[in-house]
Amino acid sequence: MKLFSVRFAIGSSAAMALPTYLLAVCMAVLGVSAQARSAEPDKPLTQAEVQAALGGCSVNTFAQFIKTWFRVVSLALVLGLGLVGAGCASGPPLVDHAFSFDAGVESPNVKILDFKYGTAGLLTTSATQSDIKNEATRQYSNINGSFPKGDTLYVKWRIKSTGEVIEDTVDLKSRLPSDISQHRIHFVIQGRELHVYLVSPELRHKGSPPFGPKKYRDYFKVYEIYPTSTLNK
């Protein structure tokens, strides 16, 4: 059917236009065939024809119904978006920081079997169930950006020479400062011990001795936060 707009002529009042699809839906619901006027598609419907199509309902009443319907739909959309926004806002806050480890370089004598930083569930902050099952957990990870600050760090590893399996969970909430923006959390396995470091964005003073993982200690201030703590919060 040719697309067109039908004007409702109501006495001396200004013409009111409705899109073709809306009129088609209304006519279909009311059992009125749009094809009945296909011979004269551009001829305006008379008030009598419109009222007959509306089942005796006045045009003003129908127009008021349409306005009310649009208001209800608009309100529903606003409320829906508000609920979605509230749901997103209620999640853990995002913090611009980094998390990393490099067992292949820093801990070649062990194999990482599982790890999990916080509850973000990202591929770079935790091992997948498939990798854990197949002992194919990554031996290196590095993520830098905005993601939830972790309250815990869990690591499970195997000492290659003895086959001994060790696991450790660190309570980061009590060890990290409240604001870790621009900081990096980095762990290193040394035999049977897990060492966790906080790498500051501050540059290391030339006169201070280097400390921490080799890839960071020459440039930044590094603090150990587990098993001992060199950080003054």
- Structural domains in the chain (count): 2
User: Does one domain contain both 150 and 203?
Assistant: yes
% of the chain exceeding 70 in pLDDT: 62
User: Does one domain contain both 221 and 200?
Assistant: yes
pLDDT higher than threshold 50 for residue 19: no
Q: What is the pLDDT of residue 232?
A: 79
pLDDT higher than threshold 90 for residue 212: yes
232 found inside a domain: no
pLDDT higher than threshold 50 for residue 90: yes
User: Does one domain contain both 191 and 122?
Assistant: yes
1 found inside a domain: no
Residue-averaged pLDDT of the chain: 79
User: Does one domain contain both 116 and 205?
Assistant: yes
Query: Residue 207's pLDDT band (boundaries 50, 70, 90)?
Result: confident
Q: What is the pLDDT of residue 70?
A: 63
Which of 32-46, 75-89, 105-119 is the most confident on average? 105-119
pLDDT higher than threshold 60 for residue 133: yes
User: Does one domain contain both 170 and 204?
Assistant: yes
User: Does one domain contain both 25 and 119?
Assistant: no
User: Does one domain contain both 100 and 62?
Assistant: no
Q: What is the pLDDT of residue 7?
A: 37
What value does the mean pLDDT take over residues 143-157?
97
User: Does one domain contain both 49 and 101?
Assistant: no
DSSP per residue, the chain = -----EEE--TTSPPEEE-HHHHHHHHHHTT--GGGGTTSTTSPBPHHHHHHHTTT--HHHHHHHHHHHHHHHHHHHHHHHHHHHHHHHTSPPEEEEEEEEEHHHH-TTEEEEEEEETT---TTTB--HHHHHTT---SEEEEEEEEEPPSEEEEEEEETTT--EEEEEEE-TTTS-S--TT-EEEEEEETTEEEEEEEEEEEPPTTSPP-S-HHHHTTEEEEEEESS-----
Which of 9-23, 39-53, 75-89 is the most confident on average? 39-53
Q: What is the pLDDT of residue 79?
A: 55
User: Does one domain contain both 118 and 194?
Assistant: yes
User: Does one domain contain both 138 and 85?
Assistant: no
Q: Which of 47, 62, 89 is the last residue of a domain?
A: 89
User: Does one domain contain both 81 and 108?
Assistant: no
Domain that residue 98 falls in:
94-226
User: Does one domain contain both 112 and 211?
Assistant: yes
